Amino acid sequence: MSETTPRHGYDAIVIGAGVMGASITLVLSRSGRRVVCVDAGPAVGAGSTSSSSAIIRFNYSTFDSVLTAWEAAHRWKDFARHLGMTDPDGMANLITTGCLALDTPGDNRPQVSAIFRDIGIPFEDLTGGQIQARMPALAKGDFWPPRPVDDPQFADEPTKDIAGYYTTEGGFIDDPMRAAQNFMFAARSHGAEVRLHSAVVEIPQSDGKVDGVVLASGEHISAPVVINVGGPAASALNRLAGVADEMNISSRPMRQEVHVVPAPDSFTTETGSLVSDPGVGVYFRPGPGGTVLIGSSEPACDELQWIDDHTNFVNTPTPELFEAQVLRAARRLPDMRIPLAPVGLADLYDASDDWAPLYDKSSLSGFFMACGTSGNQFKNAPMVGYFLRALVDAHDVGQDHDQNPVRVTGELTGREINLAAFSRLREMTNTSNSVLG
Ligand SMILES: Cc1cc2nc3c(=O)[nH]c(=O)nc-3n(C[C@H](O)[C@H](O)[C@H](O)COP(=O)(O)OP(=O)(O)OC[C@H]3O[C@@H](n4cnc5c(N)ncnc54)[C@H](O)[C@@H]3O)c2cc1C
């Protein structure tokens, strides 16, 4: 296939037009590079991005992850300023609800609190009574540990109150696919090209360097830089490029369901909050139109659904998981109304071994990756554009990121994010071992 005439003229090829690929395409094209973003799908943002709960929060386990989320939120708050323009087709919006993180025994709250204080992220510690006074829709019991719904103890009364911490900042992006399209609108205005229905089937190399991509049509697009932003297809693309074996941390597709149910009247985007409740095994947030969106926090009593082939999985919600997630959320939100049939979606995370992302170079010169987003990186998309630009800039001047890690300074805090935290060669990061990161 690579015998077809190469088409020259690009500085970089971005594989994948999800929210990450679109953000990277914007920042690279804004740096004066000629960029083409190729995607197998029919529309920008139509991959796993379109299924995202799009939650913005800051409670991660490590300094670099917290700082990244805090800096990215600052950019979502004034998204038009970040883009440098307004998309005439409509802008994605940040809906601020606040974020309540509830405790479980031995969790990372002490570390997270210390990082929040260090960075200057305002938060309050709350008792169960204070939580209920602020959000009367929420029950104040401690339901830990999470249980299968057919466990005889599932509905046991709690013996003590829950506690947690609350940040007034945080919320969600009202339309994640639109956010990807907003990034791409801005990228196009800087000259980026987007080619949809264009699946990459080969990643050619010569002299130990990447040489663009070959599409299913047989066309070879040549460029010295190729960035794998394939979402749940990223590990397959890393294998195609021959870079998977040297990675200490890798990623794999994992199936997830998110359900949407009618909200109690007193739990709206104004009066409710994003709630992270690993003690019952879910996260949930109010949504537009009087709904609650419910996702899993990977409780130990549930089996993880690893998927071998990202193109082949059950992409509709199942009655079993619907029942489990909704009944778990109903412990915390007792007045929630429960539909009889499953309502929601099923899609894939690109889950890494330690639930932290991979923003990195690779063993193949010129081949980069932004993957392993583990169900928790949508919020960081505005920063990930800068991360990949910094990695490509370093490559261009011969800086070996593996030996001399690239750092990116946050505009809001002036603090440095060390991209070694997201290296494929790192040791396992000590995280929550769940979507909470
Ligand atoms: C159900 C769910 C809920 C989530 N909730 C949250 C949340 O609340 N907060 C948060 O921060 N994050 C969340 N995430 C994570 C976040 O949404 C993802 O990390 C992010 O959207 C991934 O974007 P992406 O651009 O990397 O991938 P995608 O959007 O999947 O884009 C990858 C693109 O690559 C293309 N592609 C794949 N293979 C090829 C190929 N061979 N050739 C060409 N193109 C190819 C695909 O067509 C696709 O368009 C959630 C994810 C899911 C699935």
pLDDT digits (tens, 9 = 90+) for 324-383: 999 999 999 999 989 989 999 999 999 999 999 999 999 999 999 999 999 999 999 999
Whether 181 contacts 44, CB under 8 Å? yes
User: Are 341 and 263 in a shared domain?
Assistant: yes
Domain-located, residue 2: no
One-letter amino acid at 201 equals V
Q: How far apart are CA 159 and CA 287, in angstroms?
A: 31
Rounded distance from Cα 131 to ligand 1 centre (Å)? 33
Domain stop point among 346, 363, 391: 346
Whether 123 contacts 116, CB under 8 Å? yes
User: 423: Cβ–Cβ under 8 A, 6 or more apart, which residues?
Assistant: 249, 358, 360, 401, 402, 405
Q: How far apart are CA 13 and CA 9, in angstroms?
A: 11
Q: How far apart are CA 122 and CA 116, in angstroms?
A: 7
pTM: 0.97
Whether 241 contacts 254, CB under 8 Å? no
State the residue range of the domain holding 196: 12-89+175-250+355-422
Give pLDDT tens digits for 137-169. 999 999 999 999 999 999 999 999 999 999 999
Q: How far apart are CA 406 and CA 425, in angstroms?
A: 14
Give pLDDT tens digits for 409-425. 999 999 999 999 999 99
Domain stop point among 329, 346, 363: 346
Residue closest by Cα to atom 49 of ligand 1: 47
Predicted pLDDT at 434: 81
Ligand 1, pocket-test mutation among 36, 52, 296, most atoms within 8 A of CB? 52
User: Are 309 and 275 in a shared domain?
Assistant: yes
Show the tokens assigned to 334.
């007792």
User: Are 225 and 282 in a shared domain?
Assistant: no
> Collapsing DSSP states into helix, strand and coil, what is residue 422?
helix
Beta bridge partners, 100, equal 166, 275
User: Are 312 and 259 in a shared domain?
Assistant: yes
For 249-259, what is the mean pLDDT? 98
Q: How far apart are CA 222 and CA 207, in angstroms?
A: 14
Pocket lined around ligand 1, Cβ cut-off 6 Å: 15-21, 38-41, 46-49, 51-55, 199-200, 229-233, 237, 256, 258, 347-349, 373, 375-379
Domain-located, residue 388: yes
User: Strand 99-102 vs strand 274-277: parallel, antiparallel, or unpaired?
Assistant: parallel
User: Are 270 and 194 in a shared domain?
Assistant: no
Q: How far apart are CA 188 and CA 190, in angstroms?
A: 5
Domain count of the fold of the chain: 2
Please report, for the domain that includes residue 164, its CATH number: 3.30.9.10
Whether 189 contacts 34, CB under 8 Å? no
Rounded distance from Cα 159 to ligand 1 centre (Å)? 40
Domain-located, residue 434: no
